[in-house]
Amino acid sequence: MTDVRGRVKAFLAERDPATTDRLDFLRARFDAGLAWVHFPEGLGGLGLPRAQQELVEAELAAAGAPDNDPRRIGIGLGMAAPTILAFGSDELKQRLLRPLWTGEEVWCQLFSEPGAGSDLAALGTRARRDGDDWLVTGQKVWTSSAHTARWAILVTRTDPDVPKHAGMTYFVCDMTDPGVEVRPLRQITGEAEFNEVFLTDVRIPDAHRLGEVGDGWRVAQTTLMNERVAIGGRSIPREGGMIGVVSDTWRANPDRRTPEAHDRLLKLWVEAEALRLAGIRLRQQLANGAPGPEGSAMKLAFARLAQELSGLELEITDDGLRYDDWTLRRPDMVDFTGRDAGYRYLRAKGNSIEGGTSEILRNIIAERVLGLPSEPRVDKDVAWKDLPK
């Protein structure tokens, strides 16, 4: 039995966060097994229950340790790392996990395509075997961080003659390969958080394959499951986030108040508070080792609340007809609080689309949580190449 708290204290005794270089500190933390304690020893962890991580984070935060900027490197941490751990060779794990965790190498994910969003298994990016390598050609879309990423997780079609779920294969893609072209995808807000990624004969060694040939769907499920598990470490305070911004706008603008807007605001305030409490409850379940499916409920509720709140904010703000800035920017992450109400209104529209649309999420809840039967499928026994596109 490892005493995690003791380990953290011993680690801190050797490295004072105040005087140690940030990267040196993070690398040493990884090597000490304190990056993600549920990972195996030698790969940044100690093989302990995931719940113990919270204790490590708390101890290190209290000591003023630098963090590895999980928001910017969320795709690597939440999606790539667990998949590499489950399906990668030892060489791949040794090469990739440490710089991933320290943030020295940023990751993106090449899943969605113009014709395969919610229906991921419809994707058509082809990978053909060429000796010890694969040659990949196709187009991906909605790729956050592609312009800063060193690596990508990539799902491709390797066999078009079998039903769509059976002919996919999963890879780690080197974003510096000359066949990779990244173009900013300007969105509704004027900025470009996302990219289109064009792949033309990108050469990927077979050693960078995760899972068996044709098993890409199952590997992708591992990635997506982990995306859904990832929730923030600390509970947010009351009126944290968008509800706080809108409540403050309300307080600051007595002239713009109407009884109708007041009732809407209060209803949303109640729901935002209940959502915050549901988050606390979910974290307490997680710490108890028994998380429930409530995370899906929270994502649905969050998207709806963000959209309704940001719509209300425009109505009660000083001059909702103005917009702060339409110039094309390339932000590292969504800036919900640093921008104006108009930006929040437009950006919130993405909350019910990104990371799985609310419609698909409702299907998943209905089938996996409530146990309702699935709709009849017309695509199950048909070769991918014969499906209408």
Question: What positions carry a catalytic annotation?
Answer: 227
The token pair at 309 is: 């709140």
* By CB under 8 A, residue 297 contacts other proteins: yes
At its nearest, how many Å lie between other proteins and the CB of residue 259? 6
Q: Is 62 among the residues that bind other proteins (CB under 8 A)?
A: no
Q: Which is nearer to other proteins, 106 or 246 (CB)?
A: 246
Q: What angle do CA 220, 222, 226 make, to 5 degrees?
A: 115
Nearest approach in angstroms of CB 299 to other proteins is: 9
Could you tell me the smallest distance in angstroms from the CB atom of residue 309 to other proteins?
Answer: 13
Part of the chain binding other proteins (CB under 8 A), chosen from 88-96, 120-128, 160-168, 246-254: 246-254
How far apart (Å, rounded) are the C-alpha atoms in residues 228 and 297? Answer: 11
- Binding residue (CB under 8 A) for other proteins from 69, 294, 340, 379: 294
Contact 136, 173 (CB under 8 A): yes
With CB under 8 A as the contact rule, the residue among 19, 176, 251, 380 that binds other proteins is 251
Choose between 23 and 266: whose C-beta lies nearer to other proteins. 266
Among 131, 178, 371, 388, binds other proteins (CB under 8 A): 371
Restricting to residues 252-281, name those near other proteins by CB under 8 A.
254, 257, 259, 262-263, 265-267, 269-271, 273-275, 277-278, 280-281
**For residues 64 and 25, is the Cβ–Cβ distance under 8 A?**
no
The closest alpha carbon to 378, from 221, 164, 199, belongs to 164
List, as one string, the DSSP characters of 247-262: HHHHHH-GGG--HHHH
What distance in Å separates the CA atoms of residue 142 and residue 182, rounded to the nearest whole number? 11
Residues 6+ positions from 348 with CB-CB distance below 8 Å: 242, 303, 306, 307, 309, 310
Is residue 119 a contact point for other proteins (CB under 8 A)?
Answer: no
Number of residues that bind other proteins (CB under 8 A): 48
Which member of 363, 379, 382, 387 binds other proteins (CB under 8 A)? 363
132 contributes a contact to other proteins by CB under 8 A? no
Our CB check for other proteins shows the closer of 9 and 267 to be 267
Q: Does 353 bind other proteins (CB under 8 A)?
A: no
Between CA 1 and CA 143 the distance in angstroms is 42
Strand partners, 139: 198
Phi-psi category of residue 20: left, alpha or beta, with phi > 0 → left and psi -120 to 50 → alpha: beta
Any contact of residue 61 with other proteins (CB under 8 A)? no
The torsion region of residue 217 among left (phi > 0), alpha (psi -120 to 50) and beta comes to: alpha
Binding-site ranges for other proteins (CB under 8 A) = 235, 238-239, 247, 250-251, 254, 257, 259, 262-263, 265-267, 269-271, 273-275, 277-278, 280-281, 284-285, 288, 294, 296-298, 300-301, 359, 361-363, 365-367, 369-376
